[in-house]
Every structure is written in C-alpha cells, then in structure tokens.
Amino acid sequence: MSRREGSLEDPQADSSVSLLPHLEAKIRQTHSFARLLTKYAEQLLQEYVQHQGDPFGLPGFSPPRLPVAGLSAPAPGHAGLPAPERLRLDAAALTALPPLLEVVRRHQAELNPRAPRLLRRLEDAARQARALGAAVEAVLAALGTETRGPRPEPAAAAAAAAATGAGVFPAKVLGLRVCGLYREWVSRTEGDLGQLVPSGPA
Amino acid sequence: TAVISPQDPTLLIGSSLQATCSVHGDPSGATAEGLYWTLNGRRLAPELSRVLNASTLALALANLNGSRQQSGDNLVCHARDGSILAGSCLYVGLPPEKPFNISCWSKNMKDLTCRWTPGAQGETFLHTNYSLKYKLRWYGQDNTCEEYHTVGPHSCHIPKDLALFTPYEIWVEATNRLGSARSDVLTLDILDVVTTDPPPDVHVSRVGGLEDQLSVRWVSPPALKDFLFQAKYQIRYRVEDSVDWKVVDDVSNQTSCRLAGLKPGTVYFVQVRCNPFGIYGSKKAGIWSEWSHPTAASTPRSERPGPGGGACEPRGGEPSSGPVRRELKQFLGWLKKHAYCSNLSFRLYDQWRAWMQKSHKTRNQDEGILPSGRRGTTRGPAR
C-alpha cells in the first residue's frame, strides 16, 4: 500500500471516492488566494528592501539569519509530510505572522514615515495572512482533520521579536526576515494546496 | 558576533565620525585583522580603518554627506569572508529652518486649512516633523492640528470647533533629530479668510438671435445663503480651442450677466467663481472660491465678424456697462426728456439689432445667387 504524497484519498478505501464538490471548491478558492498573496508578498519584499537602502536588496546581501521568536522557515522535510500535517504547519505559521508584521510596520512607521505604500502593504499583509490562515483551517476542518492543540501565543512572540535586536540596523534586518518568512510561508501554502486541487477545470 | 559603537548616531553634515567594531564570542576565532567596513553597500577604503586591538577595528570618516535615505545610512562591519557581523545606521543632516509663509482659509466658516513653506526648501536629509499649532489669542490652551497633507505636503486641516469673532494665533513647529524651529505667529479671524463653494447651476444660453452675446446665469453658493454677505463674482470664458481665458470681474452681487462682443458661430466655455467678502461685517477681501465646472454654449452663426470685447453686458432694462451702451443709455434718457419718446428702451434696441442681423443675412444670401461682380440692391426693413 503506497501513500501518494499530497493525496487526501484513504489508500484503504475505494479508489473511486472523490472529494465532495464543496470541499473541492473551497480548496480551489484558497489555493487561488494563496497564489495571489504569493505575488503580493514578493512585491512587499521588494518595496521593503528599497526603503532600507543598500546593501538591503543588493544581490548577495546575506544578513545573519537570526531566529524570529515564534516562527521559523518551512523545514527541509516539510514537503515529505502528509498533506494534513503540512496544512497544519501552514496555518500555524500564517497565524504567527500578523503580530510580527505589525511589529515591522511600527518600526517602519518610525524609520520611513513618508513611505505610505510600504506601510499599507505591511498592514495588508498582516490582514491577508490572517485571512489565509483562517481559510486553510477551514479546509482542514472540512477534511475532518483536527487542528493541533495550543500554539505559542502570537502576541507574546511578537513582543519578544520587538524587544530583541535593539538598534535600527537590527530592526531593518528583522523586518527583512519577517517579510521573507511571509513570502516563504504563503508560497509554501500555495504549493501545499496546489497538490490537493483536483486536476481538470473548476 | 560584533557590536558597532556608536549605535545609530545623529550627525551634522560635514562633521566627522569615529566608530569601532568589536568582535566577541566568535567561534571561528575571528580577529579584527580580517574585518572591513561598508557604508550603504560600498566597501570603505582600508586607509580609513585601523586595528585598535585584537578584537576591535576602528573607522574614521570625515566631512560626512547628508544621509542617502531617511531610514539612515547603513554602516556595516564584515568578517573576512564577507558575512555581516554588525550594523549601525547613521543619520547625517541639518536641523530644520524656520517655516514661513503660512496662509489659511476657512470653507464656509466651518473649518480652517493652513499651508506653509518649510525653511531651506525642506531638505534637511533627515525626517522632519511639522506640527501646526493654534490657540485663541487671549485665552485657551495650545492645540495641535491632526489632519496633515490635505492640500499638499505642508498643510493641515482643522475640521471643527472653531470660534468666530475672535482672533486665532497660528504657528508651525518643525522638529528633527538635530533640533527644532518655530515659525512666526500668524494672527487671523476666521471671518477674514472665508471662502466658499463655486456657484452651482451655471447656465449659459444664447440671447435670442444676437450672434455676439451669451447670457450667463448662476445660483449663489447655498452654504452661505443664510449669512449676510455681499458676494462678488467673477466670470471667465474662452473659445473652445483656445487656452486663453478672458475674465470679467466687475460682476458684483448679482447672479446673471450677459457676455458681449463675442465671435459668432463659436463655442465658448464659461466658468464662474464667488468671493464672500464682507461676511458678518468683515472688512477683509475674502477668498475666491474654485471656478465652477465649465459650461459650454455657442453663439449663433453670422457672416459678419463680431467686435472684440470682454465686458459684462446688462440684460434688458439694466444699466449699461460698455461704452456704446452707456452712451446709448444717455441718449435714450435725453430723448425721453426732450422728445417725449417714452416707448424707447433697451428691449426695443435689442429687437432692432436682431432685425438688422437677420436682414443682413438675407442680403448676403441674395448676393450669393447673383453672378460674381454684381452687387444686389440693399433692401430696407419691411413696413
């Protein structure tokens, strides 16, 4: 018995069992949303580095990848996990991101007060991450998969992120890291949902 | 890891900076020997650095230029392999100069908007915060305007809770990391800086068959209709394919006007604006409103070119404002007194003009059907 990665079918069940239409629609819709946010996340990152000045944004710029409290990048083995577990990790990351994006927005409001588009993109990103996280959790619920137990308080993690790295340069680096994590996780979510989308027209 | 000192310093343009990068706890055993500096991504010349001790690299920068970005110039300390050990952001600029040229206006006495010019054209290379403050002249606390950038980067809007008949003191404070500056105080009464909406319902129409005139009518701005004021109006008009406006500015306290001396068979765009001067007895001039949306109309066609002009002609029975009609008015007045011609009036004069144009058209049409070189006889009016 093999387990196809990304398949939601029970290998022991009849192979003709298909996803319910409403679940299929929900997955397609959430996947489209994730695809859109991946594009926005890329734009946010570009706008962010532009306002921090060189060397931010220069090819080869590689600041120290300091850990961000409460959130890490997708693990190398993420793609090999079962679909429900991947979606749970996606939802958890998307839930942790909004307070961190708010911290970055507050820093940038002081550093770049005359960059309204950047500040708006950060605000939108926090809201959109929250919405995508809720959508992924709805997909998990529709799949009959329980979400994991209590996670670290996002607000507390964000406060820890705000407190560490005193100084403007560390704050710029933190913002770059958070924007980068946001891009990684929405892209990862798009990929994970994409593997669940049934082939053929919607 | 490493630490740069000073962290995030603020400096005057042209000043110098002494900084250090101290390495500590690095597992690879990096020393100050291999370290180097970059500023905004560009590697700094080695002669600007010197090794202070085994773990500290010093930097000396002179005659600093203004910061390249408002978030600060990025001074970074690198290990030998190029990896980033620490960073510090430099803020190099100038203190703000005194803001000046504050001007304010109130829309319909309900709010106050002010604009100002930053000192030194605003280029301090540092984020400079401008705060508009105001208070009643003889009492009350300082208030701070909260709605900025409403009509440009250096403007603020106070939407409510403004007193009339008592002067305000208004000033602007500019602050950045290097200091602050305050403008001179402007004292004004809200009633002296009132503006209003453009006149609504502007209509432009022909005056019968008169090919050189258009009639303009409008309504006084409704927001101020309950207040005692003597509005002044201005009209401007232009030919459709021209950018040159002609202005008629002797239109006082009336809501209609006749434009004369126009070109026949031509489309004109017309706009009207209002100045609510003298509101509540204010002696000041008031502030012109924006122009109304353009309204278009065309004069009737004619063979005969119209004279130049730009005055506001009176409607039937109204006093003349142009020289020809002024003289005509005097003549008619004299006639009534001495020749007992009581039926004479401007209306009759306009009817005569319309008849003259019609008969001129008819004459030209007749001439058009005759062979060239021969002229038709002029016909007089039918009796």
Contact A168 B8 (CB under 8 A): yes
Res. B383: pLDDT tops 50? no
Average pLDDT over residues B221-243: 84
Q: Which residues of chain A lie closer than 8 angstroms to B72, CB-CB?
A: 53, 111, 168
pLDDT of B378 reads 34
What are the distances in angstroms from CA A171 to CA A127, A161, A162, B19, B125? Answer: 21, 9, 8, 20, 21
Distance from CA of A50 to the nearest CA of B (A): 10
Res. B225: pLDDT tops 90? no
Average pLDDT over residues B97-112: 94
Q: pLDDT category, A106, cuts 50, 70, 90?
A: very high
ipTM: 0.82
What are the distances in angstroms from CA A75 to CA A91, A184, B106, B374? Answer: 15, 11, 61, 102
Percentage with pLDDT > 70 across chain B: 76
- Within 8 A by CB and 6+ apart from B342, the residues are B336
Res. A151: pLDDT tops 60? no
Distance from CA of B69 to the nearest CA of A (A): 6
Res. B49: pLDDT tops 80? yes
Chain A, 124-143: which have a CB under 8 Å from a chain B CB? none
pLDDT of B375 reads 38
pLDDT of B40 reads 96
Q: pLDDT category, A47, cuts 50, 70, 90?
A: very high
Q: What is the Cα–Cα distance from B137 to B27, expressed in whole angstroms?
A: 67
pLDDT of B284 reads 80
Quote the longest CA-to-CA distance of chain A.
60
Least confident of A32-41, B59-68, B105-114, B331-340: B331-340
Average pLDDT over residues A191-199: 89
Q: pLDDT category, B368, cuts 50, 70, 90?
A: very low
Q: Which two tokens stand for residue B233?
A: 């109006």
Q: Which residues of chain B lie closer than 8 angstroms to A172, CB-CB?
A: 71, 74, 87, 89
pLDDT of B229 reads 61
Q: pLDDT category, A1, cuts 50, 70, 90?
A: very low
Q: What is the Cα–Cα distance from B383 to B379, expressed in whole angstroms?
A: 11
Contact A55 B38 (CB under 8 A): yes
pLDDT of B24 reads 84
Predicted TM-score (pTM) of the model is 0.72
Dump strand ranges (E) for B108-192.
112-117, 129-136, 143-144, 147-148, 155-158, 168-176, 179-182, 186-188
Closest alpha carbon to B175 in B67, B97, B93: B97
- Within 8 A by CB and 6+ apart from A14, the residues are none
Contact B70 A172 (CB under 8 A): no
